[in-house]
A = this chain, B = another copy of it.
Amino acid sequence: MNTSNLIAAISKHITLDEEEVSFFISVLLPVKIRQGEMVEKPGDTSKYFVHVVSGCLMSYYTDKTGIDHVIQFAQAGWWTGDLPSFTKQIPAIYSTRALTDSEVLLLPKTGMDDVLGKYLKFERYFRILFQNSLETHQNRLIQNLSSTAEERYLAFGKKYPSLEQFVPQKYIASYLGITPEFLSKIRRKLMEK
């Protein structure tokens, strides 16, 4: 499977020599996933941090009443998974599933520890990765607090135009924090305009 896009992304932040590149690649597990397949499920301890090469995954939390809440849609080039479960090796609370047939590179916990132990500079890449993700989450938090569902839907469509094409609407509703019924209502209202 193709690792060059990931290496290119990392190389935007740190300069790698051949040895570092090949060591990093050597700890990755390339895996193909069918649409609908679970990569990770709640209760299990997460073994991998998941990098999407092609396709699209989503991770979500299922609450006590059985309702799913989408945390993230992960397209090509994104990392996903249950971070607390992965880093602390505790039971996962999120599920991660493929929305389309996908190719992923799995970074095992021990592999990440080895890479970071051996080549400290990878710390910078992950620092920047988490920093950016934190900013994204802060923005989303604020948007949830300060905008209506309609505004959030419009913003979502603008930010992730490609997702709207193939992600079932009920998951988009879940990501936005509303019911599928209400999203349907919003869409009709916008069509009529």
A182 within 8 A of B: no
Q: Are B67 and A177 in contact (CB under 8 A)?
A: no
Task: Enumerate A120-161 residues with CB–CB distance to B below 8 Å.
Answer: 120-121, 123-124, 126-127, 130-131, 133-135, 137-138, 140-142, 144-146
Cβ-defined partner of A127 (8 Å) among B84, B123, B135, B145: B123
Q: Evaluate whether A146 and B61 lie within 8 angstroms (CB atoms) in the complex, with A121-B120, A126-B127 already known.
A: yes
Number of interface residues of A (CB under 8 A): 29
Give A residues with C-beta under 8 Å from B: 61, 63, 67, 69, 71, 83-84, 87, 116, 120-121, 123-124, 126-127, 130-131, 133-135, 137-138, 140-142, 144-146, 177
Smallest CB-CB A-B distances: 8 pairs: A123-B123, A127-B127, A130-B130, A137-B137, A63-B146, A69-B145, A134-B134, A123-B124
